[in-house]
Structure 1
């Protein structure tokens, strides 16, 4: 399944379908500004990535190497790129 589709499903599960219906999630969608995800929601999202991709993707480790500005500006496209590169 396409990485974007998988991640959009995870976002929907974490923040709720009613909230997602009101927005257009694309590759530039910021997790903090556009999706307004808090740290607990991002942790839940991260756990879904780990459960889906297993040890093949070290999403938590990748995030831990970012500074605060990078985390604040994290968008869907950055995560898709990371996962696709890590899987190849």
Structure 2
């Protein structure tokens, strides 16, 4: 996951951050909607049809999306495998 985050927001930003499962995409990683879409495309490319990441995200309400953290994504991926 850290590699995907690095590819989306840049190595210089990732080096300065303490990325944990509790890291929020919008608050801690400061990703905007375009960067989150790019991140989701990287997950889809890596896991293929095994993970319906876009469908999972689209089932969330706005508050859930705003509070989305790395741990939630890791848990979802583990459930799908």
TM-score category (smaller protein)? over 0.9
Matches within 5 A, 1:35-50: 35-50=29-44
Q: Does residue 64 of the first structure (1) align with residue 58 of the second (2)?
A: yes
Q: Distance in 1 between matches of 2:17 and 2:45?
A: 26
CA RMSD of aligned residues (A): 0.3
Runs of 4 or more consecutive aligned structure 1 residues displaced over 3 Å after TM superposition: none
Q: C-alpha offsets along residues 35-70 of structure 1, whole Å, 9 cap, x if unaligned?
A: 000000000000000000000000000000000000
| Aligned length in residues | 81
Question: What TM-score do the two structures reach when normalised by structure 1?
Answer: 0.91
Q: Which runs of 5+ in 1 are unaligned?
A: 1-6
Q: Does residue 14 of the first structure (1) align with residue 11 of the second (2)?
A: no
1:3 corresponds to: none
Q: Which runs of 5+ in 2 are unaligned?
A: none
